Structure 1
Amino acid sequence: MEAGAEPFLLATVRDISGLKQAEAALTESRDLLQTIIDTAPIGVFWKDCNLRYLGCNKVFAKDAGMAHPLDVIGKDDYQMAWAAQAQYYRADDQAVMASGIARLFYDALHKSPSDQPLWLRSSKIPLRNQDNEVFGLLGIYEDITVRKQAEEKLLLAASVFTHAREGIMIAKPDGTIIDVNDAFSHITGYSREEVQGRNPSILNSTRQEKDFYTTLWRDLVDKGHWSGEIWDRRKNGEVFAAIETISAVRDIDGHIQHYVALFSDITPIKEYEKRLEHIAHYDALTSLPNRVLLSDRLRQGMAQSRRRGKRLAVAFIDLDGFKAINDNHGHKAGDLLLIDVASRMEQTLRAGDTIARLGGDEFVAVLIDLDDTETCLPMLGRLLAAAAQPVHIGDLVLQVSASLGATFYPQTEDIEADQLLRQADQAMYQAKLAGKNRYHIFDPEQDNRSRSLHESLEDIRRALAANQFVLYYQPKVNMRTGTMIGAEALIRWQHPEKGLLPPSVFLPVIENDPLAVEIGEWVIDTALLQMELWQAAGLHIPVSINIGARQLQQTNFVERLCALLAAHPNVSPGDLELEVLETSAMGDLAKVTQAIVAGRKLGVRFTLDDFGTGYSSLTYLNHLPVTQIKIDQRFIRGMLDDTDDMAILEGVLGLATAFRQQIIAEGVETVEHGTMLLQLGCELAQGYGIAHPMPANQIPDWSATWRPDPAWLGLPAVSRVDLPLLFASLEHSTWIAAVEAFLRGERKVPPPLDHRQCRLGTWLVADGQARHSAQPAFQAIDALHRKVHALAGELLELQAQDRNLEVQTRLGELHGLRDALLEQLKALAPGKSAVNGMGSL
């Protein structure tokens, strides 16, 4: 500025509004970008070339253990929460920047800061400047751990679906089938393609009523699941039983997405149950109700009589002259007569009445809805007339009569069902005394016999006080190994005048008297004392004891048992075994079960005695916690002569095996009985063929000297597949024995001669043809079988011509063919057990 000049101000003005707006926009854009990055549910970070963090979002900062994204800037991985894995992450980052190529969407398993498995899906992208030079790295990752776990669950579910043995079906909410597994196809016969898109009603067997399916769907809707038994139909039309569970699968909002059904085919179990239930409730010979079903129907009838104000009659029927039929014409004729008489008596009854066979030639009829006593009399007459009708069996005409005793309910005093039966039995006895072929009505006034019973009870009570009772012991053995496994204690009365009396003389008298408990405790105490004496002599012999229903159901049973054991501390409770009759369990199953459970806690073992007599059902095996089953001796004694007994025995053995119960057989009277039992898989036994009951002092010598029959030692069981051959061969041997008996005049009727009608012949054309037709021995067996039947026919023809000497001479030919046939059966049998099985016939 020149001197004297006027001062002035020079100002330059530039409009920067646009710049400010751009800066504000940039800031806003940057803030928006940061907001977006922070809002994203994934981790985002970026680094420089030195692998130090330039920035990140909030998700990343939180994972890194930092409070704010700004806290991450300038730090490296060694300063993050994952310091232990820093080297791995840095190496991976360097590889991406070095290659200059982005690495996108790759999954890797890591460890979280808390050392938990962590699945991440990551992408890493090199950052470039304007000169296309890499100056850093952008990383993005997502936590997919939950997704991976879900995938693993899906894979596991898919594996279970594919490999499960149960049938599985998945359906839409409307019931349309989406998918099924291989087991479904195996059970139903439908392939996956055949059922997809169809409704499960294709399996409907029509066995269930409409109400069944209404309840099923109501449970699915209300409870979300249903389970139970259902009858379905296979593709081939066959109906099968299934145990099935259906569940509704819902989404997060509670809406049903689909249904899943799992089921197993239980048809074999159902068929077995049906067979066993029939055996349990019906007589095997006549198909009439047995004692169990009779007891149930009698109780129902008594309750119905009380409700309706009507009377009920119980008629006890015993056939007259039946024993002579058996003795003169054989048991087969006797059985046929029983079947015919039972059927005729049943036909005389009204709907709602019941007639049952108790056993032998004894029957009981229950007649309901009677107005008075006189109404019943014509019915009793019809029963007697039906029993007395002639029965035609082949050329024979057989005839018996019947003695019948009847009693009525209700009576002036309360009375139980078993008392009614005893009254009817007493009345039947009176009918027999009066001349048979008549009925007798029970008169309560004649029940003065109770005085005689009281006198008998007093005699028994005095005998107990005078130590007149003794225990005999029957050894129990393992027939295969030859070892003695224990003994059964059996009570006898050493009567001062009548000698040694069996239990059948006095035990029925005390059955319903408290004296039964006293004698039962005496038996246990005496047996425990004897076990102590044997132990002192160096013998370890477990002892089993029969225990009556009355004693078992005493409220203090376990307390008394504990006291008896405590009195003999040297005896292990496990060496005491209590045998419970099936009839004892019938009275109060829950109470008996409770007593057995408590007894087992003391260490005492329990056996279900006389199993298979017709009283048993699945209930007893399923609920009674016994450790052993004793097969009733009537089946053992008859199994070699009666194929029905053999079939029942095999079924009982199968049932016991299915319930994992140890089995022992009583009534082994011959070597053949033992051999057959061993082949059927039962190796524990007792019976007269092993040893008679004996005094305690004879047991040590018997135990030291007894040896099993050589045929028993090491004899293996026959495989189940060869049992039909064994049974057929047994029946054939029985058939040959029957032919010989007829030829010797010991049998009235010859056995059937048609070779196609015997069991061996049936086996040859069915199972034998299917399994063994390729074996050379099979054709020889068929030819020998025909020759045996042909020769038997010739011998019977010779006898009809009174050429008996020639018949006896040619019996050797029959034996020769029999032995040749058995030798071929041995050759046919696939294993040692089957060979031994054939050789024992």
Structure 2
Amino acid sequence: MNKTHWDESGLFQAILDKCPVGIAVIDYEGLYLTVNPAYCDIYGYTKSEMLNHSFTMIFPAEAKQSVLERHQKFLAEGIRLGGEWPVLHHDGQQMTVFSESVTFYPDKGLPARLVYVQNITERKKAQEQMRIAAAVFEASQEAIVVTDGENNIISVNPAFSILTGWSLEEVKGHNPREFKSGRHQRSFYIEMWQSLMNTGQWMGEVWDRHKNGTEFLKELSISVIKDPDGNVINYVGMFSDITLRKKQEELIWQQANYDAVTGLPNRHLFQSKLEQAALHASRTSHLMALMLIDLDQFKSVNDSMGHRAGDELLGCVAMRLLKCAPGADCIARLGGDEFAIIISDINEPSACTGIAHNILKELEASFAINGETMFVSASIGISIYPTDTENLEDLFKNADQAMYAVKNSGRKSFRYYSRALHDAIHARLRMIRNLRKALEENQFEVYYQPIVSLKTGHITRMEALVRWIHPTQGIISPDIFIPLAEDTGLIVPIGNWIANQAIKQLSYWRKKYNPELKMAINLSPVQLRSQEFDDISWIQTLQREGFHSGAITIEITEGLLLNSETRVNHNLKMMHQAGIQIAIDDFGTGYSSLAYLRKFNIDFLKIDRSFVEDLQGVGYELCTAIIAMAHSLGLGVIAEGVETEEQKKLLIELGCDYIQGYLYSKPLPVAEIEKLLILPMHDNHSV
């Protein structure tokens, strides 16, 4: 074909140039004979870049050969061809075009093809998006409802029918308000529509009604669809049923913020309430009180009756606390047997006094738990914000310190935090640190006080008593540091050390002075509660020394037997079997009971010094009764605090077995007490 036959200035080319549809003429060899501007625009080439070049330039490289072969085949067969084709833009981007071509024979030469092309890339994308949207609409797990501009339903997806029970046929043409639950007030829907009109969107939680009549909570989002002129043509709502999720969230929130045993706020929620109350107090210039309440001896309930009974008791205590402080900002259980109360808007600290008294009084009444009658008391510490401190952590510490001050002074009371208390607490902490250091540096020394037989007048026993020889403060009284040692558990290593020293000293004295000499060692309740018999180090020392039965006597208090526990009972039984005698110290000052004297194989009663001091008064009758009772039970009696010959004489008349006191000797270190072991006994009282 003669390419010069194409006259670009001719009428045909003029028509091509003005045509809005892309048009090209391609010869048998596949070369462009002519292209119009619309065709060039579709592919991004200039006319000169396309003329006399193969039309395969617009196809991917791997498709060029097959496309050319089909082109020549279609020309030879004279087939009209139309369809969609993936092609490439000049910049490499893929496009989709629709083309139609017809075969013609210019100048009776080889056939050529006249091609009409439209760029349908965007339309194809839109169709794909519509296809995806339709698939999403059908497959979405979220319910979708589409309404017209009058808010009447025109379409719903399958998830809508599953979640609500309504089919499209049942709801089409209806307004969604027909399915509302009735839980929301009219103002709720007014605000919803105001948001839709102002912003074109609304999101929130709505209670609706299922087809079966049940109500469910849905998380709903509504979007407004408008035409180019701004007129509303559709509303699209998407929602999911969150009823179960909400219940689970509420349960999780409940578990995270409330105590399962008492139903009271827990420590987490309490902290939030405390912060809110402090902020309120700062804004209003009122006072806020924090009360910490710790139950006394609650552990014994768990130990004796089990944790289930303990939990039931805690629940009953919580109910009484709610009754005592109905106007409190928060009554919480912080954990264990510790509770807290926040009182806001008080004008003076003493406003909490009445509540504290009410709590103590209310807890005095017995509790009926599992058919058993129980009693419980409490120690209460109170700190005031912002009077005591503006730091909430310090506020809690202050109340805690006040509470423990109550416990240390006898429990069953309340106390306000004060600077004096703060100083006392810190002094106590220093003492505890020094006590630990004393144990590490061997600052303790065992003193001994003789126990004299009234039948023979001889020293038959020694009582081992510890003294703390402080490097700068001198001798520190046991009355000061023993309670601290018991509170901190240091009494266990201190007590074991004392017993070991005393046993070794007895072994030495028996060999040198008196083979029948015996030793009394004081044991704290903490020692008997915190150690198993086989783990008590001084028992092993005693066994190594090979002492016969009765060489060692342990002195314990009446209270230990009254509140005895399984481990205590076992330890006392094993000690008795090991030949260790047991004496009740300060007898008559506690809750005396004949039953436990038999049950625990008691060997001696030690009459408290207060009775001996009053031998000229009522103490005489008390000592008479104690000695007579002890002898009737086969027990020995030791009178403490004997200081005069008159007291000694009266005790001899009453039949007392042993005496101990300053009449013979005060507690002395080893070097000085040994002098008494070598002196004639008639000279001992002059010491």
Q: Note if contact 2:328-2:341 (Cα within 8 Å) is conserved in structure 1.
A: no
What does residue range 400-549 of structure 1 map to in structure 2 within 5 Å?
400-411=376-387, 413-429=388-404, 431=406, 437-453=412-428, 455-456=430-431, 459=434, 505=488
Identify the residue that residue 320 of structure 2 maps to in structure 1: 344
Per-residue deviation, 1:148: 2.0
Per-residue deviation, 1:94: 6.2
Please list every run of 5 or more consecutive structure 1 residues that lacks an aligned counterpart in the other structure: 1-29, 467-495, 508-691, 693-841
Correspondence for 1:40 among 19, 25, 34: 19
* Distance (whole Å) between structure 2 residues aligned to residue 410 and residue 424 of structure 1: 13
Q: Note if contact 2:30-2:56 (Cα within 8 Å) is conserved in structure 1.
A: no
Give deviations 1:301-337, integer Å, cap 9, x for gaps: 2332333333333333334564555455444333333
Q: Note if contact 1:93-1:124 (Cα within 8 Å) is conserved in structure 2.
A: no
Give deviations 1:547-566, integer Å, cap 9, x for gaps: xxxxxxxxxxxxxxxxxxxx
Q: Note if contact 2:59-2:86 (Cα within 8 Å) is conserved in structure 1.
A: no
Per-residue deviation, 1:422: 3.8
* Distance (whole Å) between structure 1 residues aligned to residue 258 and residue 44 of structure 2: 80
* Distance (whole Å) between structure 2 residues aligned to residue 48 and residue 422 of structure 1: 98
Q: Residues 197 and 36 (structure 1 numbering): CA distance in 2 closer, same or farther, change over 3 Å?
A: farther
Q: Which amino acid aligns with 1:162?
A: E
Q: Note if contact 1:171-1:179 (Cα within 8 Å) is conserved in structure 2.
A: yes
* Distance (whole Å) between structure 2 residues aligned to residue 354 and residue 431 of structure 1: 23
Give deviations 1:466-497, integer Å, cap 9, x for gaps: 9xxxxxxxxxxxxxxxxxxxxxxxxxxxxx99
Give deviations 1:280-318, integer Å, cap 9, x for gaps: 222211111222222322332233233333333333333
Correspondence for 1:276 among 249, 252, 260: 252
Q: Note if contact 2:403-2:414 (Cα within 8 Å) is conserved in structure 1.
A: yes
Q: Residues 456 and 238 (structure 1 numbering): CA distance in 2 closer, same or farther, change over 3 Å?
A: farther
Q: Is 1:157 matched with 2:133? A: yes
* Distance (whole Å) between structure 2 residues aligned to residue 124 and residue 442 of structure 1: 100
What is the CA RMSD across the aligned residues, in angstroms? 5.3
Identify the residue that residue 306 of structure 1 maps to in structure 2: 282
Q: Residues 254 and 442 (structure 1 numbering): CA distance in 2 closer, same or farther, change over 3 Å?
A: same
* Distance (whole Å) between structure 1 residues aligned to residue 353 and residue 60 of structure 2: 104
Identify the residue that residue 361 of structure 1 maps to in structure 2: 337
* Distance (whole Å) between structure 1 residues aligned to residue 262 and residue 326 of structure 2: 19
TM-score normalised by the chain length of structure 2: 0.51
Q: What SS does the aligned partner of 1:400 have?
A: coil
Q: Note if contact 1:126-1:134 (Cα within 8 Å) is conserved in structure 2.
A: no
Q: Is 1:377 matched with 2:377? A: no
* Distance (whole Å) between structure 2 residues aligned to residue 79 and residue 436 of structure 1: 101
Q: Note if contact 1:233-1:239 (Cα within 8 Å) is conserved in structure 2.
A: yes
Q: Residues 393 and 87 (structure 1 numbering): CA distance in 2 closer, same or farther, change over 3 Å?
A: closer
Q: Residues 221 and 304 (structure 1 numbering): CA distance in 2 closer, same or farther, change over 3 Å?
A: same
What does residue range 316-327 of structure 1 map to in structure 2 within 5 Å?
316-320=292-296, 322-323=298-299, 325-326=301-302
* Distance (whole Å) between structure 2 residues aligned to residue 83 and residue 318 of structure 1: 84
Q: Note if contact 2:401-2:422 (Cα within 8 Å) is conserved in structure 1.
A: no
Identify the residue that residue 388 of structure 1 maps to in structure 2: 364
* Distance (whole Å) between structure 2 residues aligned to residue 295 and residue 139 of structure 1: 80
Q: Which amino acid aligns with 1:124?
A: S
* Distance (whole Å) between structure 1 residues aligned to residue 22 and residue 119 of structure 2: 9
Q: What SS does the aligned partner of 2:262 have?
A: coil
Q: Note if contact 1:355-1:366 (Cα within 8 Å) is conserved in structure 2.
A: yes
Identify the residue that residue 266 of structure 2 maps to in structure 1: 290
What does residue range 829-840 of structure 1 map to in structure 2 within 5 Å?
none
TM-score normalised by the chain length of structure 1: 0.43
Q: Note if contact 2:292-2:380 (Cα within 8 Å) is conserved in structure 1.
A: yes
Per-residue deviation, 1:144: 1.8
Give deviations 1:592-645, integer Å, cap 9, x for gaps: xxxxxxxxxxxxxxxxxxxxxxxxxxxxxxxxxxxxxxxxxxxxxxxxxxxxxx
Per-residue deviation, 1:387: 2.0
Per-residue deviation, 1:343: 1.0
Q: Residues 379 and 454 (structure 1 numbering): CA distance in 2 closer, same or farther, change over 3 Å?
A: closer
Q: Residues 163 and 278 (structure 1 numbering): CA distance in 2 closer, same or farther, change over 3 Å?
A: same
Q: Which amino acid aligns with 1:107?
A: E
* Distance (whole Å) between structure 2 residues aligned to residue 65 and residue 361 of structure 1: 83
Give deviations 1:65-111, integer Å, cap 9, x for gaps: 99679x96xx69579877988876776666666666655x5333345
* Distance (whole Å) between structure 2 residues aligned to residue 444 and residue 66 of structure 1: 92
Q: What SS does the aligned partner of 1:294 have?
A: helix
Q: Which amino acid aligns with 1:281?
A: N
Q: What SS does the aligned partner of 2:134 have?
A: helix
Q: Note if contact 1:220-1:248 (Cα within 8 Å) is conserved in structure 2.
A: yes
Correspondence for 1:182 among 155, 158, 165: 158
Give deviations 1:423-478, integer Å, cap 9, x for gaps: 44444445556665544444443333144146248649979999xxxxxxxxxxxx
Q: Note if contact 2:26-2:55 (Cα within 8 Å) is conserved in structure 1.
A: no
Q: Which amino acid aligns with 1:150?
A: A
Q: Which amino acid aligns with 2:18?
A: T
Moved more, 143-152 or 249-258: 249-258
Q: Which amino acid aligns with 2:84?
A: D
Q: What SS does the aligned partner of 1:161 have?
A: helix
Q: Is 1:122 matched with 2:99? A: yes
Q: Residues 460 and 95 (structure 1 numbering): CA distance in 2 closer, same or farther, change over 3 Å?
A: farther
Q: What SS does the aligned partner of 1:142 have?
A: strand
Q: Residues 268 and 100 (structure 1 numbering): CA distance in 2 closer, same or farther, change over 3 Å?
A: same
Q: Which amino acid aligns with 2:255?
A: I
Correspondence for 1:59 among 38, 45, 60: 38
Q: Residues 450 and 123 (structure 1 numbering): CA distance in 2 closer, same or farther, change over 3 Å?
A: same
Q: Residues 351 and 107 (structure 1 numbering): CA distance in 2 closer, same or farther, change over 3 Å?
A: same
Q: Note if contact 1:63-1:81 (Cα within 8 Å) is conserved in structure 2.
A: no
Q: Residues 228 and 505 (structure 1 numbering): CA distance in 2 closer, same or farther, change over 3 Å?
A: farther
Identify the residue that residue 637 of structure 1 maps to in structure 2: none
Identify the residue that residue 688 of structure 1 maps to in structure 2: none
Q: Residues 76 and 312 (structure 1 numbering): CA distance in 2 closer, same or farther, change over 3 Å?
A: closer
* Distance (whole Å) between structure 1 residues aligned to residue 439 and residue 135 of structure 2: 71
Q: Which amino acid aligns with 1:122?
A: S
Q: Which amino acid aligns with 1:40?
A: C
* Distance (whole Å) between structure 2 residues aligned to residue 302 and residue 325 of structure 1: 36
Q: Residues 88 and 462 (structure 1 numbering): CA distance in 2 closer, same or farther, change over 3 Å?
A: same
* Distance (whole Å) between structure 1 residues aligned to residue 370 and residue 313 of structure 2: 12
Q: Which amino acid aligns with 1:291?
A: R
Identify the residue that residue 141 of structure 1 maps to in structure 2: 117
Q: Which amino acid aligns with 1:355?
A: I
* Distance (whole Å) between structure 2 residues aligned to residue 47 and residue 353 of structure 1: 90
Q: What SS does the aligned partner of 2:278 have?
A: helix
* Distance (whole Å) between structure 1 residues aligned to residue 265 and residue 207 of structure 2: 27
Q: Note if contact 2:98-2:119 (Cα within 8 Å) is conserved in structure 1.
A: yes
Aligned residues: percent identity?
A: 34
Q: Which amino acid aligns with 1:417?
A: L
* Distance (whole Å) between structure 1 residues aligned to residue 292 and residue 57 of structure 2: 97
Please list every run of 5 or more consecutive structure 2 residues that lacks an aligned counterpart in the other structure: 1-9, 442-470, 472-477, 491-534, 536-687
* Distance (whole Å) between structure 2 residues aligned to residue 416 and residue 82 of structure 1: 77
